[in-house]
Structure 1
């Protein structure tokens, strides 16, 4: 067996070990299923989150309980991570932007109420040991997200575009594709969100505004 064959055998094993370690960590730290999914989508690996995990988190925002687990976990990634953990901060911005475009309207309301936190990250700085400015991607992403949240018409347009893309790839003519019951857990096949209220941001209803609190972040200045 040559060196390349050995390498191919080792890489899957390494990923499996990391997966087991992450699952054990979730149990030890008593993370909920949705908190664990957010951590998975915003980990420190060099590659991005899977589209499946992102979609599952977006659909979960239609459930009141899951929403209140997802959003605070994202904001904690901004406030509790050191500058050298810039990948987790960047991925959290990517996830939040995805949820604004694909999640419930409640996400939009909540993210807009935290826009000052996001704007802070436009001043994020981190230069790695090789002298590369890794903060650049964070700053650019924060700028784009802050601009999106400040423009309701743009939010509507992006949500409409995201809805069209979902329908194109899934063949589902509904707004949500998958639905979460308002009180409990679990997936239900169905069309729109079980939450009431009129649609203000294209395609999804929202009960009211919810805020998870603010906070400062490290690595800014």
Structure 2
């Protein structure tokens, strides 16, 4: 009996060791890719968010990806990954495309205006996804979830009016959350949570901060002589920069009057307004 218990303990220890070793190796591979190849943090985040996990991309990850999409280079990298995910849609690997669809919906309402135009070419695949049927062993109807999301994304892509309305609604909600502090507590614990999150070594920001960011990051790909330690250092620098941007946005939200108090939705840089002097880097008219 004692021998059997020892065997179980050894087996549990071995499996835990394998799990930790796998996680460690995965993180090292990510760091090496950032340091030694022409890949951006936002690109890696997009790949991970849509690899077909049983859980959907988390809101914080999608938020950072949507911010990065305002930079031209990252915009094309992010959208190219999503295009490939949709092309791979089939009944066996449906989660790849489903997670890509979740991220696309977020980009449509929080990212550059031109996202809707960019994904016109994927409408046929998204329509095909709407006919997907699958109920898991617990009785959850995933087919219905995929159908509902597909139909919503199609409407956002096809209707410019609905697209603008949903963007305005998303902005109001985000502004309200930031205004009342629900998005993140302004304390060191918030930073610690962010550093411990799934995008620990990632970070990229929108084009409004592009010059400073390029100086801070030094473009991870500018030299192929980086060590793993150098890649890690630069990746952490990127994360700190993202933290500072998020804090700045929260502080700005506090200092602005609220919706209905003289602050209009048209003041937001994501809104399409002919009288604006500040427009998105990637506008719908480009």
The TM-score with structure 2 as length reference comes to 0.54
Q: Give the aligned partner of residue 96 of structure 2.
A: 88
* Runs of at least 5 residues in structure 2 that lack an aligned partner in the other structure: 1-7, 181-204, 214-241, 253-267
- RMSD over aligned CA atoms reads 4.3
Select 2:29's aligned residue among 24, 29, 35. Answer: 24
Q: Does 1:165 align with 2:170?
A: no
Q: Does 1:62 align with 2:102?
A: no
Report how far residue 102 of structure 1 moved.
0.6
Structure 1's 155 and 71: CA in aligned 2 closer, same or farther, altered over 3 A?
same
Q: Deviations over 1:69-117 (max 9, x none)?
A: 0111111011135432222211111110110011011212212353233
Distance 2:28 2:87 in 1: 23
- Is the contact made by 1:89 and 1:138 (CA closer than 8 Å) also made in structure 2? no
Q: Give the aligned partner of residue 116 of structure 1.
A: 124
Q: Deviations over 1:130-165 (max 9, x none)?
A: 998744432332122112322222211110111111
Aligned residues: 199
Does the residue aligned with 2:29 lie in a helix, a strand or coil?
A: helix
Distance 1:61 1:32 in 2: 12
Q: Deviations over 1:10-68 (max 9, x none)?
A: 88984783474266268399643222111221132222222111001111111111101
Q: Does 1:40 align with 2:67?
A: no
Q: Give the aligned partner of residue 216 of structure 1.
A: none
Q: Give the aligned partner of residue 145 of structure 1.
A: 153
